[in-house]
A = this chain, B = another copy of it.
């Protein structure tokens, strides 16, 4: 049988209000009453019905985190950070995945799970600006990741162009000249890959390492899996390119690319230096541990949750405050894959 506040009240001979006060730690309750009520609560094994509380309060204390996929360790690690940080602030995180599909992302942006969640942190891949503008309600939304939108929402993302410049420069500093970029994407000008490609292109052009627009050194992929990286590197090599370094869209792509290099008898870093992006755990345990750009995941998680909760807990003004754009930091983590030539 399910025990409600009322049952406890009757058994303890007090009103539901008093029981509620005890449950919620309200200060003005006489110790005697509190103790008696608490005893009945323990006896009966009463547990508050969160759903009822949520309905009454108009809030659930649940925020959703919609990520493309959990299979990518970067997102899994990020999810971990968000869940932990939010838990410390007494918020529950509902984790969802969109598979990076526009229809799913739109669903979330449109308020899927309305009033089950108080707000949403969304990491979009295919979502368009118009989808955001067409949002029919005002539940707080925080955008995560590198796509840029012209819509009034908080946005948390590291500076991808600068990060990509840092990565490329690092390769150049090693004395490498033919630095390939693995993981370009077709379409959508604002996509992350373009930002990273831009950083690469800028540095390459400035250092005069680039001839023409560098087409011969850029490999596109369909996605960002290890397999995509392996295939892209294979295509690049088959096309006759002979890079002495590679800046990869992310660590997964880099791991795949390194795999191909090894299979072709090319050594990392002696023949080809490789740098990734994301700093996923696996990278540290590759045959040549992977140098990478490490976005500050804790910082990203905290900024996202803080931005959301500021609107949630900040009253009416905060709810309609100017959108924040937060740029958490990043670091270059040097490992074996970019050691200098012996």
User: What is A's interface to B at a CB cutoff of 8 Å?
Assistant: 2, 45, 47-52, 54-55, 60, 69-71, 73, 76-77, 79-80, 83-84, 92-97, 111, 113-116, 136-137, 226, 230, 255-256, 258-259, 262, 281-282, 284-287
A263 vs chain B, min Cβ distance (A): 10
Rounded to whole angstroms, the CA-CA distance of A151 and B192 in the bound complex is: 50
Residues of B within 8 A of A52 (CB): 55
A279 vs chain B, min Cβ distance (A): 13
Residues of B within 8 A of A51 (CB): 51, 54-55, 60, 115-116
Residue of A70, A79, A230 contacting most chain B CB atoms (<10 Å): A70
Rounded to whole angstroms, the CA-CA distance of A50 and B59 in the bound complex is: 11
Q: Is the CB of A47 within 8 A of B83?
A: no
Residues of B within 8 A of A60 (CB): 51
Residues of B within 8 A of A285 (CB): 226, 230, 255-256, 258-259, 286
Counting every copy of the chain, the complex holds 2
Which of B55, B70, B84 touches A79 (beta carbons < 8 Å)?
A: B70
Residues of B within 8 A of A114 (CB): 47-50
Rounded to whole angstroms, the CA-CA distance of A97 and B83 in the bound complex is: 8
Residues of B within 8 A of A284 (CB): 226
Nearest B-chain residue to A229, judged by Cβ: B285
Knowing A51-B60, A71-B77 are in contact, say whether A94-B96 is a contact too (CB < 8 A): no
Residues of B within 8 A of A76 (CB): 70-71, 73, 76
Rounded to whole angstroms, the CA-CA distance of A51 and B48 in the bound complex is: 15
Instruction: List 3 A-B pairs, minimum CB-CB distance, nearest first.
Output: A287-B287, A76-B76, A47-B114
Residues of B within 8 A of A45 (CB): 136-137
Rounded to whole angstroms, the CA-CA distance of A51 and B114 in the bound complex is: 9
A58 vs chain B, min Cβ distance (A): 8
Residues of B within 8 A of A116 (CB): 50-51, 92
Residues of B within 8 A of A97 (CB): 80, 83-84
Nearest B-chain residue to A84, judged by Cβ: B97
Rounded to whole angstroms, the CA-CA distance of A266 and B336 in the bound complex is: 18
Rounded to whole angstroms, the CA-CA distance of A94 and B51 in the bound complex is: 15
Nearest B-chain residue to A65, judged by Cβ: B95
